Each structure stands twice: as C-alpha cells, then as structure tokens.
C-alpha cells in the first residue's frame, strides 16, 4: 500500500513512521479529529485521507468500474426506447453526440484527478478551483441523489426476479440485497474492486456476445430466419416523427434520444471518486479514462447500430414496460429467431448490473460524504473509518436509506418514493457540467500563473476546447431535456419535476452556503496550484506492470 504525504495546504508533514501501514491501522476504529480551519483547507490530499483510507484499487479495477458503471440497464433494456423515439439513425447520431460529450467529461475528469487525486473527486475539485459553495451544493445533491438511487436499484432487482417467478415475497429479495450491498460497502476497498471487476467482465462478455448474435441474426445466419439487413432503415425509415410532423418531428425525435443517452452513460463521473484509495492514481486514472472511453463508446455505438437492424421503430413489442428482460430489443430479436435461452441470460446479467449499480452508488456516495465532512460541510462523525479503511459511518447512513426499498411493497408509498427519486434525476448533467467547469478553470488558472501544460501528470491538447463545447451541450440538454412537457397536450408534472427541479435545488444550496459562509470565487491567480504540482514532482507514481497469467486473455479491456 502506498500513501500520499500531507501537503502544505493541510497543515503539516507526515513522518516516516506515520507513513508505515501499521500506523494507520492500529485499533479497531480510527476516529479522526482533524480540525477544518477554512473553506480551502483539505483541498489536496490530507493527513486524514492518508491515515484513515487504504490504497486497494489498481488501474484494472478503475477501468472495469468505469465500464461496469456505464454498461447496464440503459444498454440492455433502454436502447429499444431510443430506436422507438428517434429511429435507427436518429438513435445512432444521438448516442454518438452524447458519446463525444462523455469523452470530454472523462478526459477532463482524468486530467484534474491525476493532479488532485482526492476523496470525493470532482466535488473537492470544485471547492478548490471554482467555489466552496458550489462544491457544497453539488456534493449534497449527490449525497441525496445516491441515497435514493440505491433503494431504487434494489427495487429494480425485485422487478427483474419476477421475470422467472412471482411466488417469492419481494421482501426476501430486498433484505438479501441490502445485506449484500452493505457487506461490499463495509469490506476492504479491494473487495469492492474485485466484485465490480467480475461484474464488468460479465457485462462486457454479454455485450460482445449480443452484438455478434445480432449481426448473425440480421445477416440471416440463424436457420429458418430470413436476413433482415437494413430493411427497417428503409421501412419505417431511419428517423421517427416525434410529437411534431415532417422535419421538425424527426428532429425532435432525435433530440429526445439525447436525454435517454445521457442516463445510459450515467456513472462514468464516479470513476475517480475513490482516487485517494487508488494505487498510483496519477498513472492509473489517466490510463483508465483512455481505455474506458474507447471501449464504452465502441460497445454503445455497435449496440445501437445492431439494435437498429434487428427491431423496427414501430414494433409494438418495444412498448413493454415490465422492467425485465422482456423489453430488451436483443431479447425480442432472439425470441423471434427461436433462441429461447437468451431472455434468461440477459435478465440474469441485468440483475448483476442493478446490484453493481447499487454498489458503485454506495462507493461514490460514501466517499463524497467523507469529502464533505473533511471540508467541514458535513458532520465530522462521517470521518470515522474502520481499521481497514472503510468509512463505516457513511456506509451506515446509506444502509439506513436502503430500507426505503420496502416502500415498493405499497403502491401509494411507491409513488411517493419515485417522486423523491425524480427530484435529482437531472443530477447527471449537473455533475458533468461541474467536471467540465473544473477542467476549464484549471487550464485558465495555469495560463494565468504561467504554468506550462506539460507539468500536468496527464494532458491532451484538444481537451481545453472539448470541455468548453461539451459544457455548452450539457447545459443545453439540461435546459431542453424536458421539452415534451411544454408541447400541446403533453404536460406531465412528474416529467417536469424529473427534468428541471434539480436545477433550483442545486442553486438554492449554493446561495444558502455562500450567504452563510461568505465564500468567494477565487481569482485565477490565487488558486494554489504550486502545492499540487510540488507533490507531483516530489512523489511520482511507481510503475505498474502488465497483467500476467490467465488475466492476459481479457486484459485488453483495461491494459
């Protein structure tokens, strides 16, 4: 295990004895008593993180965590809805555009996190580079959203099990997955990494299999099944008229795909949340970012293309809203081709996807909350960790929220629960926007302070332009994502809340903290970048070797 030194910004230096692993793990519980003196204390890696957390994640874990976070129900079940709304070409273009935005977000996050590998990732970056009040607002928005997203994933798991049988009491599934999620959350960080590594591997293998199977079906390679080719691109056509007619209707169909595509890619922003628990973060995070972008975008683009070949946009089977594998376009095509085993396989992997999503949400939520407590923006009790480096107080809080899953057993309570979830549905775009803003501010501050870009642990010449363009697109999609509710006869209060209420919630939290704490946006010259660069120069990462043994067979996904 390697540890980071305490920097000048956190108020002292670690002795060689304090760097010893045993120093950090004496006793069953570590109780942190570090004082947070001002809004900018703890902006870089701190004594608390170095002492209380352990570096158990390797680069292969990060790469596969990012892949696992983006390949889930959105790909397995949600692509049919995109084809239905935008048509095969409209969906393909929509996912391509959002894929480019995701590329910018991933590279922006990687460049900043390689310089500032702190717990809480972009939330802490925001406090350092933009405004402590914005970090507070975005951080608590994430804490609230994740606290509700975990029980929503557990509820989805219960629905997925009904694909096979409805005889089992859903409460049994709920309790089982609450216990499993808690165990993964409270265990060593490496346990989480290995669990997500296996889940991601299953997802990738299934995606590759489904893409190949889809191509075979479309080419008529299944006995008794005629070739489909580009039949559905000709009839009913490459685009779908949505809400309007003519060119306007086709454009609205394409534009509506952007929002669904954003939520399909959701989770990529949590990649560096546990940066302070990652071995060689300045090397591992950039490598993970580069590999995630290529593989995830490739999988999604191929999957969208193949689905556009397999299923017509006006196929009534796409109206299935059961929440199980029955609504997957891959399952629809496989069933039509007489391959009976595919639905159960897809449903099983989607269950692992939902549980994987709850595990990742718990990791991201606990680390963001830990980071907020480190900055004095949350109660200091959340800085408490176990002897093996798990923030147990944070885990217990999120575990309590998991019991909201039982609201799904009552139809009335379930309605209230989904309204609560909808409050932060737009949080993905808010997080992406903040990540891009952090990167823009970092580059601007470096230019203002005459710091060459080459001093960054990882940098790319094009990202400074891509971040600005992608920030504009994120804000545009955020403001127009719910355009349907403003068209004639389509008003829906729940859809409006889901699309827009998160914006005033974040702004309210921002201005309240700013008013109470009198925070200021630091000038570009006053951002203390030299401390971070000094640490980069003094404590370089150790080189990591390539995967060995049987792992080399599949190591192309992360190496």
Give CA–CA dist 360/57, Å, rounded.
Answer: 13
pLDDT value, residue 113: 92
pLDDT value, residue 227: 86
pLDDT value, residue 344: 87
Q: List CB contacts of 205: < 8 A, sequence separation 6 or more.
A: none
Stretch among 58-62, 232-236, 251-255, 493-497 having the lowest mean pLDDT: 58-62
Q: Are 130 and 524 in contact (CB under 8 A)?
A: no
The pLDDT > 70 percentage for the chain reads 84
- Of residues 331 and 553, more confidently modeled: 331
Give CA–CA dist 37/211, Å, rounded.
Answer: 54
Entry pTM: 0.88
Q: List CB contacts of 359: < 8 A, sequence separation 6 or more.
A: 181, 184, 185, 192, 195, 196
Average pLDDT rounded to a whole number, residues 36-45: 50
Q: Are 342 and 331 in contact (CB under 8 A)?
A: yes
**Dihedral, CA atoms, 273, 276, 282, 287, nearest 10 degrees?**
-40
**Dihedral, CA atoms, 298, 359, 555, 218, nearest 10 degrees?**
-40
Give CA–CA dist 117/90, Å, rounded.
Answer: 38
Query: Over 60: is that where the pLDDT of 91 sits?
Result: yes
Q: List CB contacts of 290: < 8 A, sequence separation 6 or more.
A: 107, 110
In this structure, what are the phi and psi dihedrals at residue 491, rounded to the nearest 5 degrees? Answer: -65, 130
CA angle, 41 as apex, 369 and 468 as ends, to 5°? 75
Give CA–CA dist 313/92, Å, rounded.
Answer: 13
The pLDDT > 90 percentage for the chain reads 37
Q: Are 84 and 318 in contact (CB under 8 A)?
A: yes
Query: Over 90: is that where the pLDDT of 411 sits?
Result: no
Per-residue 3-state assignment (H helix, E strand, C coil) for 332-358: HHHHHCCCCCHHHHHHHHHHHHHHHHH
Give CA–CA dist 559/544, Å, rounded.
Answer: 10
Band of pLDDT at residue 546, cut at 50, 70 and 90: low
Band of pLDDT at residue 14, cut at 50, 70 and 90: very low
Q: Are 59 and 24 in contact (CB under 8 A)?
A: no
CA angle, 122 as apex, 118 and 128 as ends, to 5°? 75
Tokens of 550: 């049987």
Per-position DSSP letters for 386-444, written without gaps between them: ETTS--HHHHHHHHHHHGGGGGGGSHHHHHHHHHHHHTTTTHHHHHHHHHHHHHHHHHH
Query: Over 80: is that where the pLDDT of 38 sits?
Result: no
Band of pLDDT at residue 305, cut at 50, 70 and 90: very high
- Cα–Cα distances (Å) from 237 to 97, 231, 248, 422, 500, in that order, read 21, 9, 16, 33, 32
Omega before residue 213 within 30° of 0, cis:
no
Average pLDDT, the chain: 82
């Amino acid at each position: 295990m390697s540890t980071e030194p305490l920097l000048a910004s956190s108020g002292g230096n670690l002795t060689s004895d304090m760097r010893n692993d045993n120093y950090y793990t004496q006793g069953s519980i570590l109780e942190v008593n570090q004082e947070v003196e001002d809004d900018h204390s703890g902006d870089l890696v701190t004594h608390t993180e170095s002492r209380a957390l352990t570096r158990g994640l390797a680069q292969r874990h990060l790469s596969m965590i990012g892949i696992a976070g983006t390949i889930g129900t959105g790909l397995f079940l949600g692509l049919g809805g995109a084809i239905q709304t935008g048509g095969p070409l409209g969906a393909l273009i929509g996912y391509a555009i959002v894929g480019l935005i995701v590329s910018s977000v991933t590279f922006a996050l990687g460049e900043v996190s390689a310089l500032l590998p702190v717990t809480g990732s972009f939330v802490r970056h925001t406090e350092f580079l933009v405004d402590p009040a914005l970090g507070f607002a975005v951080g608590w928005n994430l804490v609230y959203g994740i606290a509700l997203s975990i029980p929503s994933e557990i509820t989805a798991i219960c629905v997925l099990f009904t694909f096979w049988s409805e005889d089992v009491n859903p409460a049994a599934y709920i309790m089982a997955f609450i216990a499993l999620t808690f165990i993964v959350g409270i265990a060593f960080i490496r346990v989480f990494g290995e669990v997500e590594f296996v889940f991601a591997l299953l997802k990738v293998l299934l995606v590759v299999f489904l893409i190949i199977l889809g191509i075979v079906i479309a080419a008529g390679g299944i006995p008794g099944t005629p070739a489909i080719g580009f039949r559905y691109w000709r009839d009913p056509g490459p685009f779908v008229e949505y809400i309007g007619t003519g060119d306007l209707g086709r454009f609205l169909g394409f534009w509506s795909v952007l929002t669904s595509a954003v939520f399909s890619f959701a989770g990529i922003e949590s990649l560096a949340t546990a940066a302070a628990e990652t071995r060689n973060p300045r090397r591992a995070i950039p490598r993970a970012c580069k590999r995630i972008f290529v593989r995830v975008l490739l999988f999604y683009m191929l999957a969208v293309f193949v689905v556009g070949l397999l299923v017509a946009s006006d196929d009534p089977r796409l109206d299935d809203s059961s929440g199980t594998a029955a609504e997957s376009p891959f399952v629809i095509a496989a069933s039509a081709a007489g391959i009976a085993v595919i639905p159960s396989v897809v449903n099983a992997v989607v269950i692992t996807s939902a549980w994987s999503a709850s595990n990742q949400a718990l990791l991201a939520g606990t680390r963001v909350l830990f980071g907020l407590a480190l900055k004095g923006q949350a109660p200091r009790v959340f800085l408490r960790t176990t002897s093996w480096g798990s923030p147990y107080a944070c885990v217990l809080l999120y575990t309590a929220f998991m019991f909201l899953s039982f609201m799904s057993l009552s139809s009335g309570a379930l309605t209230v629960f989904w309204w609560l979830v909808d409050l932060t549905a737009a949080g993905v775009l808010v997080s992406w926007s903040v990540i891009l803003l952090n990167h823009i501010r970092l580059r601007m501050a470096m230019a203002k302070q005459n710091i060459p870009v080459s001093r960054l642990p990882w940098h790319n010449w094009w990202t400074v332009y891509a971040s600005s363009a992608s920030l504009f697109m994120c804000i545009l999609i955020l403001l127009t994502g719910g355009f349907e509710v403003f068209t004639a006869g389509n008003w829906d209060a729940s859809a409006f809340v889901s699309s827009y209420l998160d914006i005033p919630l974040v702004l309210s939290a921002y201005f309240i903290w700013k008013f109470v704490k009198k925070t200021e946006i630091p000038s570009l010259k006053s951002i203390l970048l030299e401390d971070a660069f000094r640490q980069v120069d003094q404590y370089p990462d150790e080189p990591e070797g390539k995967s060995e043994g049987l792992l080399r067979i599949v190591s192309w996904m992360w190496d």
